[in-house]
Amino acid sequence: MLVALGVCGYWLLFTQFMVYDDEGYVLWSLHNYFQEGGLYTRVYSQYGPFIYTLYHGIHTLFGLAFDHVTGRLITLFYWLGAVVLAGLFVWRQTRSAITTSGTLVLTFAGLIVMTNEPIHPGGILTFLSALGGVGGACALGRGQTRLFALLCGAIGAAMLLTKINVGVFFLVSAGSWMALGLSSTKLARVCLWLAALGSLLVPFLLMNKLWPDPWVAIFALAFALSALSLLWLIQATPRHWFGGKSWMGFIGAALAIMVIVLGATWLRGTGLAALWHGIVLAPLGQPNIFEHQVFWPALVPWLALGLFALVIVHQARQRAWIIHLVAILRLLLVIGFFASTYLGIENSYAPYSFLYGLPFVWLMVVPLGPVKSATLHQAKLWLTWVFIWQTLHAYPVAGSQMSWGSFLWVPLAMVGCHEALNYLTGKMGLWGRGGQNVSGGVFATASILLLLHLGYVGGYRYFTGQSLGLTGGKNLRISDKLAGAYRIIDKNVRLHGGSLFSYPGMFSFNLWTGHPTPTPANVTHWFSLLSVAQQQAIIDKLQADDRAVIVVQNYLVKLLIEHGHPPQGILERYLMQNFRPVFRIDSFEFWAKNGRPITSISTARWHPAEGNMLAAMELVTAAEGQSGSIEIRGLYYPHNTIVALPVSPIRPWQVTPLHPDNSPAGPMTLATTQVSLQGLSQIIMPLGGLPPLPALNLLEIIIKDPSGKILDSLRFAD
C-alpha cells in the first residue's frame, strides 16, 4: 500500500505547479540563505530559522541542490511519513489490517494539498505534528511519561522555530496535557479548570484583530466547544502522572533544540534583535496584512452547539440510545469523508476533516462501552487534544493550512469507525459475524477504489503532461499551456534580462533562468510585507540596471484587488511608472524599462486582412536549423494539427534576421523552399484560404525541420 501511495504521490507532486508560486519563494530564500546567510537581515522570510538550519546542514553535508525536484522529493517524504505515522496509530489501537490500510489511503488523500506547495514549511509541520502526536501516543501507550516529555519538548521547539503559532499550539497542548497529570490532585484539578478557561479565551485572544467577522466567530465557537467537550472526557479518565523529571525533560529538550537552531542562525549572521523580530514580532502582524477566511457550512455552528449539549447529557446520565447514536454518527461521518475525498481529488480538495472534524471529534473518542485498555484510550485522547489545537493553524489564512492542521482527524475517525462497527455488529447476535465481514469488505473495497482513483488521476496527469524542461524543474510534467508560457518567458529572460523581479513574487523564474533578484529580500506579497527601506533598496537596484526585466501575473494581481488587498507602495508605483509591457501570454506579462526595444522570441502575432492585404502571421524565433514547415495545432493533449503550412511559392516566407533590440540584422529574404534559420529571426507568411481557427489562446505554433524535429514552439501573444 505504501509503495502504491508513493508512486501516486510522485505522479501528483510532479504534475502540479501553482501559479502563485509559494514554492519558488521558499526555494529562492533557501538559495539566498545558503549563499549569503543573514536570515531576517539580508534574506527575508516569514518563517522561523529551523528549516533554514536543517536544509543548510543537508546542503552542506551532501551538496544537495535545493530545486523543484529536491523540494518535491522532500515533500513526498513528509507526506508519506505522516501517512505511516497515522497508520501506526490505528494499528496499535485496532490491530486491524483493513482499517490500517484504509487509514493510509484516506490520510494520503486528506493531505493531497501537499501537491500545491512543495517544500513549504507546512509539509515539515505536518510531519512534525504527526510525529509528536503519534509518537506521544505510543509513549503514553507504554507508560513512558519521560519519553513523552522529551519527544514533545523537542518537536514543539522545532515547530515553534518553523512557524511560531503552530509551535505554540503544540507546546500548549503538550504542556496542558502534562499539567492535567500532575501528581497533586488539587493542582491537577486547578489545571483542568485553567485548561477549560484557556480553551475559551485563547481563540478569542488569537483572533481579536479580525473579530467579529462571522467566519472568525464560528471558528472560535467550534474550537472552544470541541476543546471543552474533550476536557469533559479527559477529566473522567485515569491519567499518567508527570513528575518533576518529566517536566525537566520537556523544558530541557525544548531549550536544547532552540539553542542549537538559534546558535547556528546567529553564526550565519543574524543578530538577536533580528531573530526576535523575525520569529515573534513579524508573525504577530500577519492578520493585519493578509487573511483568507474559512467558508463554514451554515449547519456547523448549530452542530457544534448541539453536540456540546449531547456530550453534557451523556456525561451527566449515560443512556444506551446516546451510545447507539454516537456509533451511527461515526459511520456516517466516515462515509461522508470517503465521498468528499473521492470527489475532491481532481479539483480543490474540500477540507472535510477541518469543517466537520472539529465539532464532531469527541464522537470518535467517547467510549462505547467499558474501556479495555486505559493506556490506549489515553493515547487516543492525547492525539485528539493535539488535533483540536492544531486546527488553529488555519487562522488567519485558511488555505492549505486547513488540511495541514486537521489531518490527524483521519486516524481518529478510522479508530472510531472500527469501534463503532464492532459495537453495532456486537448488538446483532448471530448476525454480527456476517455484519463484520460485510462491513470489512465494503471498507476494503472503498479504500482500494480510492487508491485506484488516486493512481488514475496521477498517472493520467503524468503521462499526458508536457515536460517543463527548465533548469531545476526538468522532471515536472504540467499542462501544455502553462509549460509553454513558462518556457517562453524563460527564453526572453535569458536573452534580455539582467536582474529579474516579479509582481507578485514568482521566484521560480529566478531559479530556472539563473538571473538574480535585485536584493535577497524577496517574498510573494512584497508590496505588503517588505518595509519601505527594503522596497527602496530594490528600486535602487532596478534603477541602476538597464537590463532589468519584470514578470507580471495579472490574474493574481486582479485576485488580490478583488479580495480587498490591492498592491500598493513605493515599489509598486515605481514599476508602474518605469516599466512597460512588451508581450503578454495568457495572464503573464513580460515588462522591460520604458523606451527599451525588445525582440519577443517564441511569440506569434496574427495580422487580420485589411483592404487588399491578406491575413498574415508574424513569428519571432531564435530557432537554428533547416526549416520547411510550420504547424498550427491545438494546445492540449492529444495535440491535433489544425493546419500545416509548408514553405512554397504559393505561400512564401518573408524572413528577416533580427538584433535583440528588434532592429533588422540583415536584409529580408523571400523564401519559397527550405529556410536556414540562424538565430533571431522574424518570419511573416500570408494566411489566405485557411479554415476557421479556434481562439488563438488555445493554439501553439510549431516550427519543424524536414525530419519532423521541433525547432521551436511559439504561442500567440498580445
Domain locations in the chain as residue ranges: 2-459, 479-593, 603-716
Q: Where are the alpha helices (DSSP H) in 498-598?
A: 508-513, 526-529, 532-544, 554-562, 570-578
pLDDT of residue 430: 52
Burial code (b: 16+ CB inside 10 Å, e: under 16) for 85-100 equals: bbbbbbbbbbebeebb
Q: Which residues pair with 131 in a beta bridge?
A: none
Chain position carrying cell 493574481: 556
**Residue 608, pLDDT above cutoff 90:** no
CA distances from 628 to 464, 667, 693 (A): 28, 20, 22
Band (pLDDT 50/70/90 cuts) for residue 380 is very high
- Note whether 590 and 549 are within 8 A (CB): yes
Question: Burial level of 186, CB count in 10 A (0-12/13-18/19+)?
Answer: exposed
Q: pLDDT at residue 397 above 90? A: no
Q: Is the pLDDT of residue 558 over 60?
A: yes
Given this model, what pLDDT does residue 713 score? 93
Query: How many beta carbons lie within 10 A of that of residue 13, not counting itself?
Result: 25
- Grid cell, residue 639, equals 495535440
Whole-number Å distance between alpha carbons of 45 and 41: 10
pLDDT of residue 346: 55
Half-sphere exposure (Cβ direction) of 130: Cα atoms closer than 13 Å: 31
Spatial CA neighbour of 299 closest among 355, 220, 364 = 355
CA distances from 622 to 165, 495, 598, 713 (A): 50, 10, 13, 10
Report the C-alpha gap between 176 and 389 in whole angstroms. 11
Strand partners, 710: 704
Spatial separation of the C-alpha atoms in residues 492 and 132, rounded to whole Å: 47
Integer Cα distance of 323 and 577 in angstroms: 68
Query: Does the pLDDT at position 688 exceed 80?
Result: no
Give the position of cell 519527544: 151
Whether the pLDDT of residue 614 is over 70: the answer is yes
Task: Kindly state the average pLDDT of the residues 629-651.
Answer: 83
Encoded amino acid at 194, one letter: L
pLDDT at 343: 72
- pTM given for the model: 0.94
CA-CA distances (angstroms) from residue 128 to 21, 147, 222, 382, 622? 24, 16, 24, 15, 48
C-beta neighbour count of 56 within 10 angstroms? 20
Identify the band that residue 15 occupies on the pLDDT scale cut at 50, 70 and 90.
Answer: very high
pLDDT at residue 289, rounded to an integer: 66
Lowest-confidence region among 11-25, 121-135, 423-437: 423-437
Q: How many CB atoms lie under 10 A from the CB of residue 381?
A: 23
DSSP assignment of 441-483 equals HHHHHHHHHHHHHHHHHHHHHHHHSEE---TT-TT-EE-HHHH
Confidence of residue 253 (pLDDT cuts 50, 70, 90): very high
Beta bridge partners of 677: 625
Full strand arrangement of the beta sheet holding 579-585? 500-503, 549-553, 588-593, 579-585
Q: How open is the CA angle 449-453-459, to the nearest 5 degrees?
A: 140
Q: What is the DSSP letter of 659?
A: -
Chain length of the chain: 718
List the Cα angle 616/602/618 in 5-degree steps.
Answer: 10
Q: How confident is the model at residue 171 (pLDDT cuts 50, 70, 90)?
A: very high
Query: Considering the chain, what percentage of its residues have pLDDT values greater than 90?
Result: 66
CA angle 481, 483, 489 (to 5 degrees): 105
Amino acid at 381: L
Query: Which comes out higher in pLDDT, residue 34 or 430?
Result: 34
Q: Is the pLDDT of residue 28 over 70?
A: yes
What does the block give as the cell for 381?
A: 485522547
653: which strand partners? 671
Interval 479-538: pLDDT, tens: 888 999 999 999 999 999 999 999 999 999 999 999 999 999 999 999 999 999 999 999
604-612 average pLDDT score? 82
The stretch 326-346 carries a mean pLDDT of 82
Quote the percentage of the chain above a pLDDT of 70: 97
With 0-12 CB in 10 A as exposed, 13-18 as middle and 19+ as buried, what is 198? Answer: middle
User: DSSP secondary-structure letter at 357?
Assistant: H
Q: Which residues, 6 or more positions from 110, have their beta carbon under 8 angstroms from its beta carbon?
A: 341, 349, 353, 403, 406, 407, 410
306-332 as b/e: b if 16+ CB within 10 A: ebbebbeebeeeeeeeebeebbebbee
Nearest partner of 471 among 514, 531, 423, 516, judged by Cα: 514
What pLDDT, on a 0 to 100 scale, did the predictor assign at position 168? 96
SS3 call for 643: strand
What pLDDT, on a 0 to 100 scale, did the predictor assign at position 348? 45
pLDDT in tens, 190-245: 999 999 999 999 998 899 888 888 999 999 999 999 999 999 888 877 777 888 89
Give CA–CA dist 32/42, Å, rounded. 9
Residue showing cell 485558511: 398
Q: Give the residue from 49, 10, 47, 50 showing the smallest Cα distance to 26.
A: 47
Q: Give the span between the Cα atoms of 500 and 519, in whole angstroms.
A: 10
Q: In what helix (H) or strand (E) does residue 646 lie, and over which residues does it extend?
A: strand 641-646
Question: Which one-letter DSSP state was computed for residue 348?
Answer: P
CA 374 to each of CA 88, 380, 668: distance values in angstroms, whole numbers, following the listed order: 18, 10, 87
Long-range contacts of 535-539 (CB under 8 A, 24+ apart): 535/569, 535/570, 535/571, 536/570, 536/571, 538/501, 538/571, 539/570, 539/571, 539/574
> Distances from the Cα of 517 to the Cαs of 29, 46, 59, 544, in angstroms?
11, 18, 21, 13
- For 685, phi and psi rounded to 5 degrees? -135, 145
Amino acid 389: pLDDT: 97
Give the pLDDT score at 211: 84
Are 90 and 99 spatial neighbours (Cβ–Cβ below 8 Å)?
Answer: yes
Q: How many helices (H) and strands (E) does the chain have?
A: 28, 17
Q: What cell was used for 154?
A: 523537542
For residues 648-660, give the mean pLDDT.
90
- Mean pLDDT score of the chain, rounded to an integer? 91
Residue 660 amino acid letter? P
Which residue in this structure is represented by grid cell 476494503? Answer: 444
What is the pLDDT, as a whole number, of residue 286? 67
Based on its alpha-carbon atoms, the radius of gyration of the chain, rounded to whole angstroms, reads 29
Q: Could you tell me the CA-to-CA distances from 549 to 218, 273, 486, 576 in Å, in that order?
A: 45, 34, 15, 13
Q: Which of 386-400, 658-672, 686-700 has the lowest mean pLDDT?
A: 686-700
C-alpha closest to that of 182 among 193, 166, 167, 197: 193
pLDDT digits (tens, 9 = 90+) for 417-453: 999 998 888 876 655 667 677 888 888 888 899 899 9
3-state secondary structure of 47: coil
312 versus 105: the higher-pLDDT residue is 105
Spatial separation of the C-alpha atoms in residues 132 and 156, rounded to whole Å: 8
Pairwise pLDDT comparison (388 vs 336), residue with the higher score = 388
- Cα dist from 660 to 147, 505, 547, 598, 664, whole Å: 65, 26, 12, 6, 9
